[in-house]
Amino acid sequence: MAKAPPPEPIDHHYDIAKLTKVFAIVSILVLPAFGWMTWQDYGRDWKSWQKKFVENDRKRTREALRGAAEKIDPDVEQKYLDQKREGARELRRNRAAVAEAEEKDRKAEGAWYDSDQDFRFKKAEMDTARYVFETRQKEDPKSSATARAKAEYERLRAAWQESQRTEQAAKKAWDGAKAESAALQKTKKDAEEALGKLDEEYDRFQAKLKTLKQNDAFYFVRNAPIADMLAPSLRIQQVQLDGLSNDVNFLRSQRVDRCVTCHIAAEKRGFEDKQKYPESVLRTHPRLDLFVDSNSPHPYATFGCTSCHGGRDRATDFMRAGHMPNDYAAYEKLQEELRAGRDEKGMPVDEDALRELMEETQTGRWMKAYDWEIDKFNDLPMYPMKAVEAGCFRCHRGDAGHPKAAKLDQGRKLVEALGCWSCHRMKGLEELPKPGPNLARLAAKTTPEWTARWLVNPRAFRNNTKMPRFFYLENFDTPSGHKLTDTMIAGVTAYLFEKSGKDAYAPPAKGDAARGQTLFENVGCQGCHVSEPGAERRVMDGWRQHGPNLIGLSEKVTPGWLAAWLKNPKAYNPETRMPNLRLADDEIADLVAYLMARPVQPEFKASHAPKADPAERDALVSDYFMQTRSVVDAKADLAKMSPKEKDVFVGEKIIAHYGCYACHNIPGFEKAKPIGVELSEWGNKPVHLLDFGFVHVPHTRADWLAQKVGQPRSYDREKVKSFQEKLKMPQFSLSPAEIEAVQSTVLGMQKDDMSDALTARAVGARGAVEAGRRIVKDYNCQGCHVLEDKGGAIREAMTANKIDLALAPPIIRGEGAKVQSEWLFSFLHGPKTGQIRPWLKVRMPTFGLTTDQINSLTAYFATQDKARYPFDGRVEALDPRSRAAGAATFVSLKCAQCHPTSQDAFAQALKQGKTPADLAPILAAAHTRLRYDWIADWIKRPDEWMPGTRMPTNFPKVDDKSDTRISPLAPALDTPAFAGLKKELVAIWGSEAEAKAYIGDPDRVTKALRDHVWSLGNDFLTAPTAPKTRAATQVASH
């Protein structure tokens, strides 16, 4: 048997044939994998959005073009060409005319030059002759040579005069030619410009057409699978955010926002219409004035999107980006009902209806469209849109308020007013005035009974109180819990009264409640206070809720205390923000009579002060004792104490336990630290560190917070806790909208991870303005004044009381430009009743501001108006003619009929029977109060400075649209009524034409009036430095 030939020696250890097969199989397998991969990549979500956008964009351009074409003309091109041809023809004609005119001009110039030369030579000749004549005349006046010289001189003089006439005629001819040529040149230039513009328009039109005709096939190819690696038009869009990074556990990575990959229309105008572009992702950002746009304060290139919205920067996928729906909690609640088959009240539910409801929620829609679910691995998802303003707070926490973010602003006001910040440290909200009153002298103000009843439920007494409820809440809602609560309340009351100062006040004289009411409605109380009974809870923001609702005072305070308080609030509580209204004793008596007669809430009237339960009290005291001493000692010590001592002991412990001293000054707790958790970076707190207890709330930060603020003790439900362990946060009774507002604020309290350049730091001008706004907010200036076009809340009360709004506190507009900062300082330091506007019944109170605070305010006003600060330039001298003209105009316009020019004139007017209400500000004070430049501007346009002012508008606008003002005095000057003024003005200005030029110019007239007003009562100017008049100068020179 023949042996098979031995295999050829192999120099490799694999079988080619086998390998070929393997390769073949693998490549067959890989091919679909490759195809699948390409398809996956090609079909990424964001691409579909971009494609959709391209479609939208094209449709829009096409529509716009169609619209434009319809608007222009059907045959726009032909029309353009016609216009162009006509324009060119016109231009040609024009050019010829221009050349001709120029030629004429040149010739006329030549003629004039000749005549001018002639004139000059003749003059020289004449001068020579005159010199000869004069010399001869001196030597020998009677000689014939002199007579000859004279004749020669006269001849030359006549010739010179003749040449002068010729020269003047030539000059006139030349001027005419020059003007004609200039006019023609201008026509030519205009024509050329118009033609250029026409060309530009045509080019733009052509470019648009070209875009429209762009090759669809090319678009397809460059974005086709695989080919799209070269230069696709659909691609990921991103922006690197300088100075911003992600914290990736001990590493920092550059922040790169890719949101506009899908939100591709965000920065493009023209995609606002919700009907036309139903997908919000393909719409323009709704606030391009504030965000995204390169001209806005938050341009996309610097801030990106995640700086404000939160979320994952690099994600290009809906889920991964961290989108959060607004109504996840509501969805979960429905889900829970569906699971249980019963609703909240235990009624069986209609499952189909419920499912439908769930599908209609944003969460439901997202689940369907994007498989949305809560992403447990994303620590910082986006803020849900309802809390999106949290993003503002990240950089703006140093500001005093947030006028452009309404919800955040409301939340911030609540967090400040309710004192969240005083228990929980919050960076940026330190050093505010304590939200609660000083309790160091409580016994002088009220009774233990009232205090205990108040503690049970503050809102029963006062429907708008900021004081939250600490007691009788759900985690103490058992019989023993109630007893413990009563014991705690009795203890707190006992402690406060034990430690309180006990000054006594004599009751005021008997007042008249009706007069008191009039005073209450007129003097300005209602800028900060309401007096509205009703069990319904009031919203706590709003300027008129700044102070307490003045009801039920008869239950709370003594007339003596109230009188002393009104007389000088700072005497009782040096930290109070209640200002001093400088009320007279009889006014105080009337006000007390009125306020003490205001109604008491019936619920409060029916309440009783809780009494301590002896057994609970003993148990509580022992508990505390046993923390530090033995059982035997504790018992012995307890036995030694009187009931009152026990109450006081319990009170001290409870005040420490609940941290009452964070909001109130309480003797014995001056140095105690607030008890709340610091919230400065709460917005970064990992969700797994939050205790959701047994409450069914979605596990998100926002939902935990809403539950906590709304029902602070609910996370204790179903839990077994000792008294010490129970939750302590009080009940603020906020409305759902208010809770959302607080959410927006607290969610925004995040690590300070924005770069310095992006953070709104309160430095420089911005710092000055924010510091001023802080004081404006703390002292509620806008309760009375319209400031920064907001506020003036008292006007609402005045309208209700049928008081003329002309008597409202002044609108503060441009105050920095208006008054001298020195004056403003002294005014804010110690305003006097009737100092500026004696006719007002409402008074600027004395706030007792510190020098620093007043400096902040004066700087705030000056900075806002870009006025010189702190000193306005001193006016050293006034133009005497302007001042004299001002004085004449002042008399003629009868300004003094309302404005006393001096204190004497004011007194005189009062003697004649006028009341301050009939008078306008005393002008003698103008130069110490007002800025020099401002006075003229005010006289010119009082209607714009202070709408509704009694000061008449003497220089009306030409029409509503223009800013130009005219002087109606100009035509009036020729009437007999103004003959006197005319005569004076002619004397001052030297001629009638000059006088008319003056009176017809609102600027000059108002400045002249200003100069006169400035000189009133101004010794510095009226005495020696007054500039010399022309007459005086002439006398001196002779």
Partner 1 sequence: MRLRPILLAALLPGAVAAQVSGRVTLSGPVPKLAARPVISDVAVCGRADRPSPALVLGKGRELANAFVWLEGAKGGDPPKGPFRIDQKGCAFEPYAQVVSKGVPVTILNSDPVLHNVHATTVTGDALFNKAIPVKGQSVKEPFTTAGVVRVKCDVHAWMNAWLFVAETPFAAVTDRGGRFAFPGVAPGTYRLHAWHELLGEKVQSVVVPANGVARADLSLSLAD
Which residues are near partner 1 by CB under 8 A? 804-806, 892-894, 897-898, 912-915, 917-918, 942-943, 947-954, 956, 968, 972, 975-978
Q: Least distance to partner 1 from the beta carbon of 999, Å? A: 13
Nearer to partner 1, 484 or 887 (CB): 887
The token duo for 399 is 């500001």
Joined together, the tokens standing for residue 554 give 């008869």
For residues 256 and 267, what is the distance between their CA atoms, to the nearest angstrom? 17
Shortest distance, position 983 Cβ to partner 1, whole Å: 14
- What lies within 8 Å, CB to CB, of 1016 at 6+ separation is 901, 902, 923, 924, 926, 927
Structural tokens at position 494 = 């006992």
Closer Cβ to partner 1, 137 or 953, answer by number:
953
- The distance of closest approach from Cβ of residue 907 to partner 1 in the complex, given in angstroms and rounded to an integer, is 15
Q: How far is the CB of 1009 from partner 1 (least distance, A)?
A: 12
412 vs 417: CA distance, rounded Å: 8
Return the half-sphere exposure (C-beta side, CA atoms, 13 A cut-off) of residue 917: 8
Q: Which is nearer to partner 1, 912 or 1037 (CB)?
A: 912
Residue 471, classed as helix, strand or coil, is: coil
Distance (Å, rounded) from C-alpha 354 to C-alpha 122? 113
Reduced to 3 states, what is the DSSP secondary structure of residue 965? strand
Q: For Cα atoms 853, 858, 863, give the angle at the middle one, nearest 5 degrees.
A: 120
Residue spans of alpha helices (H) in 12-44: 16-42
For partner 1, give the closer residue by CB, 234 or 1005.
1005
Q: Which is nearer to partner 1, 598 or 795 (CB)?
A: 795
Q: Compute the least distance from the CB of residue 71 to partner 1, in Å.
A: 32
Least separation, in Å, of the C-beta of 953 and partner 1? Answer: 5
Helices (H) and strands (E) in the chain, counts: 44, 6
Question: Nearer Cβ to partner 1, position 739 or 985?
Answer: 985
Q: How far is the CB of 322 from partner 1 (least distance, A)?
A: 49
Nearer to partner 1, 173 or 972 (CB): 972
CB 689 → partner 1: shortest distance, Å?
56
Q: How far apart are CA 314 and CA 522, in angstroms?
A: 60
Q: Rounded to a whole number, what is the distance in angstroms from the first to the last CA of the chain? A: 159
**Contact status, residue 409 vs residue 402, Cβ threshold 8 Å:** yes
957 has which bridge partners? 965
Choose between 155 and 950: whose C-beta lies nearer to partner 1.
950
In the numeric block, the tokens 């029409």 are attached to 959
Bridge partners of residue 241, in order along the sequence: 255
Can you tell me the distance from the alpha carbon of 748 to that of 741, in angstroms, rounded to the nearest whole number? 11
- Per DSSP bridges, beta strands 298-299 and 291-292 are parallel
Q: Is the peptide bond before 870 cis (omega within 30 degrees of 0)?
A: yes
Residue 98 C-alpha from the chain's centroid: 57
- How far apart are CB 920 and partner 1 at their closest, in Å? 9
C-alpha 936/C-alpha 528 separation (Å) is 35
Residue 545 CB, nearest distance to partner 1 (Å)?
A: 25
Distance of closest approach, residue 443 Cβ to partner 1, in angstroms = 47
Quote the Cα angle for 480-483-487, to 5°. Answer: 140
Residue 838: CB minimum distance to partner 1, A: 14
Smallest distance, Å, CB 901 to partner 1? 15
CB of 275 or CB of 912, closer to partner 1: 912
> Could you give the 3-state DSSP secondary structure of residue 909?
helix
Instruction: In angstroms, give the least distance from the CB of 451 to partner 1.
Output: 43
CA dist 322 and 315 (Å) reads 8
Find all residues with CB under 8 Å of 955, minimum gap 6, and list them. 939, 940, 941, 965, 966, 967, 968, 1002, 1005, 1006
Q: Return the structure tokens found at 655.
A: 């005040």
The single residue listed with the structure tokens 């920065």 is 267
Distance of alpha carbon 999 from alpha carbon 997, whole angstroms: 6
Classified as helix, coil or strand, 535 is: coil
Nearer to partner 1, 280 or 897 (CB): 897
* Residue 253, phi then psi, degrees to nearest 5: -120, 145
CA distance 899 to 921: 6
Instruction: Work out how close the CB of 670 gets to partner 1 at its nearest, in angstroms, rounded to a whole number.
Output: 51
Question: 529 Cβ partners below 8 Å, 6+ apart?
Answer: 544, 546, 547, 548, 549, 550
Q: Smallest gap, in angstroms, from Cβ of residue 951 to partner 1?
A: 7
Tokens of 379: 């620590």
Question: What are 948's two structure tokens?
Answer: 């509704």
For residue 922 the two structure tokens come to 């005393």
Locate tokens 């009939």: which residue? 918
For partner 1, which is the closer residue by CB, 767 or 942?
942
Which 3 state secondary structure label does DSSP give 283? coil
**Cβ of residue 897: shortest distance to partner 1, in angstroms?**
5
Min. distance of Cβ 478 from partner 1 in angstroms?
53
> Closest Cα partner for 533 from 553, 513, 560, 506?
553
For residue 268 the two structure tokens come to 């493009």
Amino acid of residue 539: V
